[in-house]
Chain A
Amino acid sequence: VLTQSPLNLPVTLGQSASISCTSSQSLVHSDGKIYLNWFVQRPGQAPRRLIYKVSARDSGVSGRFSGSGSDTDFTLKVSSVEADDVGVYYCMQGTHWPPTFGQGTKVEI
């Protein structure tokens, strides 16, 4: 089970925001890697991956997004929040079957 907090996150433009994702079990795979991803879903759109394997940024993703964490506790940080950053953010683990998502964190300005 992945538990995100907070579930609602009002942010101020230009400020930083952090979302926590806690797993009920270790997300270290037998291959030694941690398959923890972060997605953002804007209204009416499909999710878009921002971060994979805890901290690797997808191509085209702003450097303002960073992921960190280990084992069971993970964080997505958005620095200098922009208006375009609004949406619902999900963490997702791909280590254990079936993959699971957090409940989502709604970020609004």
Chain B
Amino acid sequence: QIQLAQSGAEWKQPGASVRISCKASGYIFGNFGVAWVRQAPGQGLEWLGWISASTGDSKFSQTVQGRVTFTTETSTATAYMDLRSLKLSDSATYFCARASSSAVGGVSIWGPGTRVTVSS
């Protein structure tokens, strides 16, 4: 059964950094990519970026480019998202999702989400 498990909720102050993990199971991790999507409270879905699990190539949306890093650890089938210089507007639920290996096509399976709250 294909699953993505994410790390727990985080509470951060403005200017801090947060790392979210996404552990995959049930499929060959290196054959796919991982996408990151967030959803502010009561709002729609916003694509943040994508990383190839095999090559580490990454692509980012302009919203977070320069503040975000995506990494993967194939030995543990885990993807990570690091978001720096947090702003109040970064408060959202962050989802990882299985994506294609080419960044084309979209996503299929989603993780349960990680709630990040940025507040002073």
Contacts and interface: CB of A to CB of B under 8 A. Distances in A.
Contacts of A103: 44
A109 B82 CA distance: 40
Nearest to B46: A101
Contact of A46 (B46, B62, B111): B111
Contacts, number: 59
A53 B35 CA distance: 18
Contact of B106 (A31, A93, A104): A93
Given A100-B47, A101-B45, A104-B44, A46 B112 contact: yes
Interface string A55-95: 00010000000000000000000000000000000101111
Interface residues of A, number: 25
Nearest to A4: B44
Nearest to A88: B44
Contacts of A47: 45, 95, 110
Nearest to A103: B44
A53 B104 CA distance: 11
Given A90-B44, A97-B59, A104-B44, A49 B108 contact: yes
A63 to B, nearest CB: 19
Residue of A29, A48, A94, A101 with most chain B CB atoms under a 10 A cut-off: A94
A20 interface: no
Interface string A31-51: 100010100000001111100
Nearest to A37: B106
- Nearest 3 pairs between A and B by C-beta? A94-B106, A46-B110, A94-B105
Interface of A: 29, 31, 35, 37, 45-49, 52-53, 58, 90, 92-95, 97-104
